[in-house]
Amino acid sequence: MTNATFPDGFLWGGATAANQIEGAYDQGGKGLSIQDVMPRGVSAPRTVRPTPDNLKLEAIDFYHRYPQDIALFAEMGFTVFRFSIAWSRIFPRGDETEPNEEGLAFYDRVLDELEKYGIEPLVTISHYETPLYLAETYDGWVNRDLIGFYERYVRVLFERYGARVKYWLTFNEINSVLHIPFMSGGINTPREQLRPSDLYQAVHHELVASALATRISHEMFPDNKVGCMVISMPTYPLTPDPLDVLEALHADHLNLMFSDVHTRGYYPGYALRYFREHGIKLDITDEDRALLAHTVDFVSFSYYMSTCETADASKKTVSRGNILTGVANPTLEASEWGWQIDPVGLRIVLNQFWDRWQKPLFIVENGLGAKDELVEVDGELTVFDDYRIAYLNDHLVQVREAIADGVELWGYTTWGPIDLVSASTAQMSKRYGFIYVDRNDDGTGTLERYRKKSFHWYREVIASNGASLT
């Protein structure tokens, strides 16, 4: 094990998304987003209009409680906070020409608060919250018009916040569009009616929009940094059989394509072959090709688990996971939600990404969703979440190893530093936070915040710049 340390200026913090924390879904002139009609998460059918059982409508009320929450992040010593801007707060329908000033003013206030504590903002432009109107009227990212609406949105964000926000992410987990088209791409057409060409056309539109955002940022604020954001999930061969190795390579390629395009500026040969052999015909213009050449400054990613692949159909036992699935790894344990826990996989993926792209990396999601029990000690309510501490400690030890391997890593933000509504299941009981939020799956609870044991643990990790890891 290395005794190397984290670099000076390494950014430590936590990551969230507007729809999972803000609530106030109909306040401040906000329009509806696709999340407002997804009360049961990703695999249940959407509703026609918002229904009271949708926890995201109120979420954890960050919209009103952000000063208190940011003060708690500051208490832990955060130097970065990742949050997303709700597109439908800025453009309620998505296709207007003028933005909603009240929505813009809200994020001004959030940024004021972060500045007060010297916390660097890391802003996701689109995190699973396409305006519902764009989904219903345009079918989301399948439609090329979305590029223009996104461009308008991005220009407004850069004009308003570009001088205060240095780090931007264009799309959360952009490689999920293929798997969860409504949540990720605002694509209203039911999954089973979409042809692979429709899905990859949506992917292409997002890739072009991402490159366009990068170009605009570089023109307006040359010192700002724009990154792509992908789900990382290293794929291991189930056995040493070369056919399994090849199968794992193919599965990995389907994911890596997104960052390959973002970092190289063109579609790699294996993707072109895949398109050819799967009858995928894309509308790619010369202007699109020119735009794709505007490559990102860094690659950011979420990491929760690894997976396996095999060429042997009889061994394909599917493991549940963070949107992507694969074959279960017989050597690993899983979380209560079936996500296989693999700290070493994080070191592997950091090395793979660095070797492949030689671009700075940023881990913008990592964490354990678990059920917590609130207990009273000396009149204070808390949670003894040793399982969460162990998970994060073990992953961070591997991050340190990767840094010693020579990987350039800018920072680490845990997913959900404060309990929030789960993206995949829309539950509150799947908790990630260092801060407990008193809200239950049935919507009851005071919304009070309590520091968990991991709160104090993370404060120590940050204060020691990782030296307290064991």
Beta carbon of residue 74, minimum distance to ligand BGP (angstroms, whole number): 23
Distances (CA, A) of 359 to 82, 233, 259, 407, 410: 20, 18, 11, 9, 10
What's phi and psi for 15, nearest 5 deg? -130, 145
Cβ pair 382, 452 in contact under 8 A: yes
Query: Among residue numbers 270 through 309, which ones bind ligand BGP (CB under 6 A)?
Result: 302
SS3 at position 131: strand
Q: Considering the rule CB under 6 A, would residue 372 count as an interface residue with ligand BGP?
A: no
409 DSSP β-pair partners? 361
What is the CA 338 to chain-centroid distance, rounded? Answer: 19
Instruction: Name which of 239 and 427 has its Cβ closer to ligand BGP.
Output: 427
The Cα 394–Cα 416 span in angstroms is 18
> CB count, 10 Å around CB of 254?
15
DSSP 140: G
Instruction: Name which of 56 and 160 has its Cβ closer to ligand BGP.
Output: 56
Q: Considering the rule CB under 6 A, would residue 423 count as an interface residue with ligand BGP?
A: yes
Beta carbon of residue 219, minimum distance to ligand BGP (angstroms, whole number): 28
Instruction: Name which of 365 and 401 has its Cβ closer to ligand BGP.
Output: 365
Q: Which span sits near ligand BGP by CB under 6 A: 55-63, 193-201, 372-380, 421-429?
A: 421-429
Q: How many residues does the chain have?
A: 470
**Active site annotation includes 173:** yes
Q: What string marks each residue from 133 to 172 as x (binds ligand BGP by CB under 6 A) or -?
A: ---------------------------------------x
Choice from 123, 323, 437, 462 touching ligand BGP (CB under 6 A) = 323
Beta carbon of residue 387, minimum distance to ligand BGP (angstroms, whole number): 15
| Catalytic pick among 173, 247, 309, 401 | 173
Choice from 77, 186, 369, 411 touching ligand BGP (CB under 6 A) = 369
**Active site annotation includes 373:** no
Q: Considering the rule CB under 6 A, would residue 430 count as an interface residue with ligand BGP?
A: yes
**Four-CA torsion 450, 456, 462, 467, nearest 10 degrees:** -160
Instruction: Name which of 170 and 172 has its Cβ closer to ligand BGP.
Output: 172
Beta carbon of residue 118, minimum distance to ligand BGP (angstroms, whole number): 26
SS3 for 355-411, per residue? HHHCCCEEEEECCCCECCCCEEECCEEECCCHHHHHHHHHHHHHHHHHHHCCCCEEE
Positions marked catalytic: 173, 365
